[in-house]
Every structure is written in C-alpha cells, then in structure tokens.
Amino acid sequence: MAAKWIEALTGSLEQKKQYKEAKARIEALPAPYRDAANAVNRYLMYYGGVTDGDTIVQMFLDHADLWERAALDGTPVSEIVGDDPVEFAEAYAQAYGGTQWIDKERARLVKDIENAKRKEQR
C-alpha cells in the first residue's frame, strides 16, 4: 500500500531501479567509455526532455548497452560519437521520441493565447 502511494507521488520505483542499474553499468566501464557515456548521459538529461518514464528508462538502458558493446569491441569513442558529439546526443534522444516537457508547454502557450484573444474580443 505504501509503495503505491509513494509511486503516485514520485513515479515508478521500478523505473528508478532500472535507471540506477543503467548508471551502475556505465560506472563499471573503463575510463574512456565511462567518461564519454557520462558526458552524453548528462547532456541527455538536459536535452532529452522526455516525460514518459518507460521511454526514458529504455533510452538509458540502451545507452548503457551501446557503451558496454563499444568497450567490449574496443570501438573508439570517436567512432561512436563522430565529429560532433552534440549532433550524436541529440539524434540519439530524438530516436526515442515520446512526450517531451516542451509539448506540454507548447499546448499551454496556445491555450493561454487563445484565452487572451477571447478576452480581447469581449
């Protein structure tokens, strides 16, 4: 009962557990991969803006998979992120789509402007 109440306030505990597991997998990587993965992860947290918990969790689980595979294969970091790490991170985040926080704000802006126009016509 308490777990459901807590999840109602904070979100899925299972999703938080999965995210922490993905972060732990990244922390276990060798230095160049860990450093790059953490940098991309940090950027995704700011840029991604995805509000759907399932999408976020899947994005970060796949992110951990990507860097683990690269470390196992010995793929250079530069081959993964290319010449533009910002472009890489943004393309990666966009591949997951999902509802983003800005979608809510866009709808809010449109609604507020429509309300203002209605008041103007009175």
pTM of the model: 0.74
Tell me which residue of 92, 74, 71, 73 sits closest to 82, measured CA to CA. Answer: 92
Tell me the C-alpha distance between 82 and 92, whole Å: 12
| Cα 12–chain centre separation | 16
**C-beta neighbour count of 33 within 10 angstroms:** 23
**In the predicted model, what is the mean pLDDT of residues 89-102?**
81
**In the predicted model, what is the mean pLDDT of residues 19-23?**
95
pLDDT at 9: 53
Residues in CB range of 90: below 8 A, 6 or more apart: 47
